[in-house]
Amino acid sequence: MGSPRRRLLEQLCATFSNQAQALANPPLYAHIQVVFRPAPQLAAGSLLLEQAYALDPTQPYRIRVLRVCEDSRGLIIENKAIVAEQRFHGATADPSRIAAIREDDLCLLEGCTYLVEPDGAGFCGEVEPGCNCRVQRKGSEAYLVSSFRVGPEHLETVDQGFDPVTHSHLWGCLAGPFAFRVTERFCHELPPDW
């Protein structure tokens, strides 16, 4: 069965697509591909994340290293930016390029750690409270409110940006979560000691 940390890593290590959702309701949902792939040369629990429009998965609009670990709050996912991230665009399709990422390429995004709990056969998580996960989008700063649910065959995500002063909604889905299904798995690439 494995530890909760191992099970979370196994459920995340995949390519996910929301093609069915996008085809059913194109005005509300773009067709997106989300890929999590192990980065075994980095600290235990490190996954490269690329999120891109399915039309061009080599040009992600989000690329991060996520690190599944535990601290005094329990199971968490640290969110790390990559310095000069363009060097690694499309790397989830090529493990040899993932291997080039080094710890000193990474910078912890303060306030953007996900707090994770078991949820049936899967897990749910949300960005830590405090409105401190700051992101730049379309030339303005927002704080991110983000949550996810993951299970053996699915991933659901909600990402929304809010004004740091007025707390008004600036961007992000209002019609409900993005609903992704697994199209390919990479859990066989996880080091056994993770």
pLDDT digits (tens, 9 = 90+) for 172-192: 888 899 999 999 999 999 999
Please check whether residue 194 lies inside any domain of the structure: no
Query: Looking up tokens 């194109």, which residue turns up?
Result: 26
CATH code, domain with 74: 2.40.128.590
At residue 1, the pLDDT reads 63
Q: How far apart are alpha carbons 146 and 129 in whole angstroms?
A: 10
Q: How much of the chain exceeds pLDDT 90, in percent?
A: 92
End-to-end, the C-alpha distance of the chain in Å comes to 14
Residue 130 has pLDDT above 70, yes or no: yes
Note down the domain range covering 30: 2-182
Calculate the average pLDDT of the chain: 95
Give the tens place of pLDDT for each residue, 21-77: 999 999 999 999 999 999 999 999 999 999 999 999 999 999 999 999 999 999 999
Q: What is the pTM of this model?
A: 0.95
Whole-angstrom CA distances from 88 to 65, 80, 97, 121, 137 are 11, 14, 7, 33, 20
Whole-angstrom CA distances from 29 to 22, 148, 172 are 5, 16, 11
Residue 138 has pLDDT above 90, yes or no: no
Please check whether residue 187 lies inside any domain of the structure: no
Please check whether residue 189 lies inside any domain of the structure: no
* Mean of pLDDT values over 13-20: 98
